[in-house]
Amino acid sequence: MTSHDQARQFAKTYMGALNTGEGAFAARFAHDARVTIAGAPATAAEVRTATMPGRSAYRGARVDAPGFYVLIRVRPGGTAVEERRHRVVLRKDGLIGSLEA
């Protein structure tokens, strides 16, 4: 089980990697991670594209056992703001085993 503090710390690292680059973001995932966007199979690169690097910011984290949500504020264009949740389940090695965006 991930504590709130662990989820918050990981979420900040996750957002930093998302905004840094594809390699940094992909490094957060296990090689066999299950990744979905709106229920459809996806890759880490597709999550990054859908979440708009440079237009996304950390909004918080919420524990939801066995994982947690990373709360993300996205500005897709103009002044519009969207709140998004990425549900993350970490493996024991600290890598993402499952991500639902």
Query: Residue 60 sits in a domain of what CATH number?
Result: 3.10.450.50
pLDDT value at residue 79: 78
16 is in which domain, residue-wise? Answer: 4-100
What CA–CA distances, in Å, run from 65 to 52, 68, 90, 98?
Answer: 27, 6, 11, 13
What is the count of structural domains for the chain?
1
Of 56, 33, 37, 55, nearest to 46 (Cα)?
37
**How far apart (Å, rounded) are the C-alpha atoms in residues 73 and 11?**
13
pLDDT digits over 31-87, tens only? Answer: 999 999 999 999 999 999 999 898 899 999 999 999 999 999 998 877 789 999 999
**pTM across the whole model:** 0.92
